[in-house]
Structure 1
Amino acid sequence: MPSPTARLLRAHQVPESYREPGILSGYRPPQSSACECLLSLFGMNNETLNIWTHLVPAGYFLWLLLSRLGGAGPEAGAGPFLAYLGTCALYPLASSAAHALGALGARGRHRAYCCDYAALSIYGLGSALAYSAYVFPLEWVGSTFHDFYVPVAVLNSVLSTGLSCYSRFLEAERPRLSKAFRTLAFVYPYIFDSIPVFYRVRRWMDGWMDGSSLPLHSRHSLCALLTLLSFTSRLPERLAPGSFDFIGDLAILGVCFRSLRPEPPSREKSH
């Protein structure tokens, strides 16, 4: 049985496609078997915290979903919220699996991360479903934009998955373009899905809308911004290479916790 504390490698000992900016050590041997990858969850390497900070929230959201579905059953009108909650459990679970299997051979590694991107795109669609049901301003309900909002979100989810998966084929020869494509693949759907939220915040600032949900939306947007900055800048790893080998590369952690919405939001009145 392979040991979870198998010999770890330094950055110069692994192919360039396996390296992370600012992470100099703690790499698992490439071409590891699936069993070795899973056992590595219980030994310290540069992916251990990344895996567990996805896996624990996935378990929490799954428990929250099952508790909502059990007992007396879901509340009336809670369908979009439950769908959203399901995507909150799905994408950190897929991300933890992708990072756990990231030491597989090139084909297995690409497949694992493509599943991760697909799950993240589905999470964006789940957010759109919740926004359409609970966050849309009353004056927009029934409008053309509202009618096409979810279908466009579905299309965005498909395009996001395709573009982010395609970006992996550019990593070796054109890493900057690959990073740009992957960033665009998730930033654009987020901006589109958040249009109702941005509108609410603007109306609240103008004094035309109740701001009771503003703290929630503000935290959500702030965590999304921090996640984007961390993903694109790779800070703080770049500032002190080697100092964050076992706690770096946690950009998506913010997305996990910004997903938390303990109660289905109700519509607010505008005036």
Structure 2
Amino acid sequence: MATIVSEKLGHLFLNVQHFRKVPRLLEGALPSSSCTVGASDVPQVFQKPYIHAGYRPLHRTWKYYFLSLFQRHNEAINVWTHLVAALVLVVRFWRLSQAVDFHGDPHTQPLFVVAVSSIIYSTFSALAHLLQAKSEFWHCAFFFLDYVGVATYQYSSALVHYYYAIEPEWHERIVGFYIPGAVLLAWLSCAGSCYAKYRCPHLSSAVEAVLLDYETRRPVYSRLHGSLASLFSALCLLVLACCSLTALYMTAQVKHKLRQKQE
């Protein structure tokens, strides 16, 4: 009996010893907060007004930048605000999918588009702020990706306002140009932001959230829009494709510019 008890105590002691090693293992895996550098140690493209320290050094491994999610640096708040927002939106979208028939009801497609695009733009923004410090090229590339997400959300926001909240009188006035205009403006937003980042890297963009009421105005918008929900939703893919191609083109321009600088 004494032998059994001593063996169990021995196993318990070993388990406690393993638990004590966990913080040390985490400290070894995570980048140290002291690894950040000052503004003078990074290229001008990374420097922010009034922020003189907390920059992550360039040209580290991808693992370093992913693990910096759990460290203090100048982008930590930006990363977490977008990441938490994306997670909250995923949960809200899942709950919404339990109450709304996204598959069977065509009039839910604009609602589906704005929900997904909200998750996309928050996720892209979180990735941009988390990983942009790797190099000048990746700084521009990830923010171009961020602008794709913002433009996609911009179109979807315009779509849900038009689809669910518009009054019949206004619908008659703008039905011919509102959605094409929203597509064009979304692409111009992305293209303009990409070009501004290319020419003047310290510029940034912002987007505001919208609220919509899907249920109460259904008799109005279902009569106004008929079977156009699929077309409007497909245009979101067009916006996403055009913005992605624009971002890829501007990424290639940045790569060419950096290559010329090195030569």
Same fold (TM over 0.5): yes
Q: Is the 8 A contact 2:111 2:160 kept in 1?
A: yes
Maintained 8 Å contact 2:161/2:212: no
Q: Which amino acid aligns with 2:214?
A: P
Amino acid at match of 2:186: S
Give the corresponding residue for 1:68.
96
Give the conservation status (yes or no) of the 8 Å contact 1:4–1:41. Answer: no
1:152 to 181, 188, 193: 181
Greater Rg, structure 1 or structure 2? 2
Partner secondary structure for residue 63 of structure 1: helix
Partner in structure 2 of residue 47 of structure 1: 75
Higher relative contact order (CA 8 A, sep 6+): 1
Indicate whether 1:167 and 2:175 are aligned.
no
Shift of 1:59: 1.0
Deviations 1:22-52 (A, max 9, x none): 1111110022332111110011111111101
> Aligned AA for 2:45?
S
Question: Residues 72 and 113 of structure 1: is their aligned pair in 2 closer, same or farther, counting only changes over 3 Å?
Answer: closer
Q: Which runs of 5+ in 2 are unaligned?
A: 1-27, 221-263
Corresponding position of 2:112: 82
1:103 — aligned with what? 133
CA contact (8 A) 1:32 1:103 kept: no
Aligned to 1:259: 209
Change in Cα spacing, 1:68 to 1:260, as seen in structure 2 (3 Å) is same
Taking only the aligned residue pairs, the percentage that are identical comes to: 28
| Partner SS, residue 141 of structure 1 | helix
Distance of aligned partners of 1:119 and 1:72 in 2 relative to their CA distance in 1, 3 Å threshold = closer
The match for 2:38 is 10
Q: Where does residue 140 of structure 1 map in the other structure?
A: 170
**TM-score normalised per structure 2:** 0.65
Q: How many angstroms does 1:61 deviate by?
A: 1.0
Are 1:31 and 2:59 matched, yes or no? yes
Cα 1:260/1:137, change in 2 over 3 Å: closer
SS in 2 for 1:113: helix
Counterpart of 1:261 in structure 2: which amino acid?
A: L
Number of aligned residue pairs: 189
Q: Distance in 2 between matches of 1:16 and 1:55?
A: 26
Matched residues in 2 for 1:120 and 1:265: separation?
26
CA distance in 1, matches of 2:215, 2:154: 17
Take 2:138 and 2:116, find their aligned partners in 1: how far apart are those partners? 26
Shift of 1:141: 1.7
Q: CA deviation at 1:133?
A: 0.6
Cα separation, 2, equivalents of 1:171 and 1:159: 17
The alpha carbon displacement at 1:115 in A equals 0.4
Secondary structure of residue in 2 paired with 1:52 = helix
Higher helix share: 2
RMSD: 2.5
Q: Residues of 2 paired with 1:133 and 1:260: CA distance?
A: 13
| Equivalent runs, 1:194-205 vs 2, <5 Å | none
Superposed CA offset, 1:78-114 (max 9, x none): 2212211111111111000000012111111111000
**What is the identity, as a one-letter code, of the residue corresponding to 1:18?**
F
User: What is the deviation of 1:265?
Assistant: 6.5
Equivalent position SS for 1:57: helix
Q: Do residues 20 (structure 1) and 48 (structure 2) align?
A: yes
- Please report the TM-score for the alignment, with normalisation by the length of structure 1: 0.63
Contact kept in structure 2, 1:3 and 1:39, CA below 8 Å:
yes
Deviations 1:171-227 (A, max 9, x none): 26xx6xxx4xx66xxxxxxxxxxxxxxxxxxxxxxxxxxxxxxxxxxxxxxxxxxxx
Structure 1 residues without counterparts, runs of 5 or longer: 184-251
CA displacement at 1:137 relative to structure 2: 2.1
